[in-house]
Amino acid sequence: MQNKNEKQSSPKQGHEQGRYQKQYGGGIQKQPLPPAFVSRMQGMLGAEFSSFMESYEKESAYGLRYNPLKTDREQFERSAGEFLLSGIPWADEGYECRRGLHPGKHVLHEAGAYYIQDPSAMSAVGALAPQQGERILDLCAAPGGKTTQIAGKLHGNGLLVSNEIVPARARILSQNVERFGIRNCVVCNEEPSMLAEYFPCFFHRILVDSPCSGEGMFRKDENARAEWSEERVIRCAERQLSILECADRMLIPGGMLVYATCTFAPMEDEGVIVRFLRNHPEYELAELPFYEGMEHGRPEWAASYGGVPDFDMSSEAAGMHLEHCRRLFPHKLNGEGHFVAGLYKRKEKKSVQGSIRYADDSSYPQVRQTKKKDSLALWEQFARGSLLNVPEGVVVTFGSQLYLVPPDMRDFGNLKVERAGLHLGEHKKERFEPAHALARALCDKDVVQSRALSFVEAERYIRGGTIMADPGLRGWVLMTYEGYALGWGKASGGQIKNHYPKGLRIMG
């Protein structure tokens, strides 16, 4: 049945849709744009439709963010200037990136100096505005772009819990947390409903970068085009609403919930926001920062295309302020399609945090106390001999592995945890072997011994090669390139044995 707010397409409009589908639907891509998607976008955009379709003939946007945990703007521009174009207004650490130079294959990328990310995707964390010392949840976090951006804002102060429901993607998320040298992040692999049971009224800010139909990625991702359907949009909207319900249970009164998608579909954007606000009058939409090229949220699209045909444009729209949301279109700026909404939870809402037990060194009865004492003693021996600045926090053991758990983290209990914080290392027989993650969280000023590598040496190191050293150098050495930590080596007899993880080595 036709939505009462939709206008029926004329024969002329249908002809134009076919023309644009033929001209722009394939372009340099093999997979055409879905006809139903094209039809809806023409109805939504009207006079802007041709410009929108022409954007599919252009190359997708390309950007990167530098890592504030490892560098500052001045140092980064000196070391990575060949990759950089202009800055990105809504991301302090972001740059548009030159094409054809392959920054993902550079030593600096392996060192965690930057994260390659679509410029539009950087807007959600700007809306979240994390503050140092807060407890933050990134609920749908893989592969880690927004988690690493949040961590840069926290700068090690506070707690970041990053969750991904798919195990393989949770491992990728964990690897990016490690590469960035993040100390205060716990990576979970859980259902949002399980987290909601575990963290009642716990977080100051929550980011829901929700799984969606992916329409905003059509320019760069043929799979997103092939998998799209109108039924998928409907399913995504229902799942998105259920995820927001879980997020609400974990947010403190006075907290901020940011909802983001990479789709144009109003059913997944304004429509989800309308339905959530109807169920939760204690929330209000925050007016997010507005930058050139951005668009306001569209209340009329909620009524016409958002799956809420009874939406009252005269009173309900005025009260909800959907115009406070932000839309990013590829024909308006150098980025892919995104939608961002900020939901503020009023403080008058009565909510009880519940009984929270925080992690400490007695939280893990499965580890024998004698072995735990041995492991801690070996860690302390290593720290005294190799580190000038010892990371602070609660050291816990998982079998032979030692982790530094962020101070605000509650007891893990039965949570499925991919990374419990900063991995310090492993108790192997009667010795301690420092973890690669620990190296990534340090710099040359934190260690007794470091070895600065040339570009050629750095490339040899990340391929597993041996590095020459001063004959007097012995023991654990932090390997660095232009001030960025790459990993560990162990010096003996004028050589440094390579301890860069075999699974991360670049072959060829």
Active site residues: 262
Structure tokens at 319: 């009260």
Please tell me the distance from the alpha carbon of residue 192 to that of residue 241, in angstroms, as a whole number. Answer: 12
Please tell me the distance from the alpha carbon of residue 136 to that of residue 1, in angstroms, as a whole number. Answer: 43
The DSSP symbol for 310 reads T
Q: In sequence order, which residues have a C-beta less than 8 Å from that of residue 83 and are 6 or more positions away?
A: 64, 95, 97, 98, 101, 103, 106
Please tell me the distance from the alpha carbon of residue 341 to that of residue 206, in angstroms, as a whole number. Answer: 12
| End-to-end Cα spacing for the chain | 58
* Nearest-10 Cα torsion for 201, 207, 213, 215: 160
The DSSP symbol for 141 reads -
Could you write out the DSSP letters of every residue in 15-54? HHHHHHHHHHSSTT-SSPPPHHHHHHHHHHHGGGHHHHHH
A 10 A CB-CB count for 229 gives 13
Residue type (1 letter), 39: S
Q: Give me the residue label for tokens 């973890």.
A: 435
Specify the 3-state DSSP secondary structure of 388: coil
Q: State the number of CA atoms in the 13 A half-sphere of 479 facing the CB.
A: 32
**Sign (positive or negative) of CA dihedral 174, 178, 181, 185:** positive
Q: In sequence order, which residues have a C-beta less than 8 Å from that of residue 268 and are 6 or more positions away?
A: 210, 212, 213, 233, 236, 237, 240, 261, 339
Structure tokens at 223: 């799979």
Specify the 3-state DSSP secondary structure of 394: strand
Alpha carbon 239 to its chain's center: 19
Structure tokens at 256: 């901020």
Three state DSSP letters for 263-284 = CCCCCCCHHHHHHHHHHCCCEE
Dmax over Cα atoms in the chain, in whole Å?
Answer: 83
Please tell me the distance from the alpha carbon of residue 215 to that of residue 223, in angstroms, as a whole number. Answer: 11
Residues, the chain, total?
508
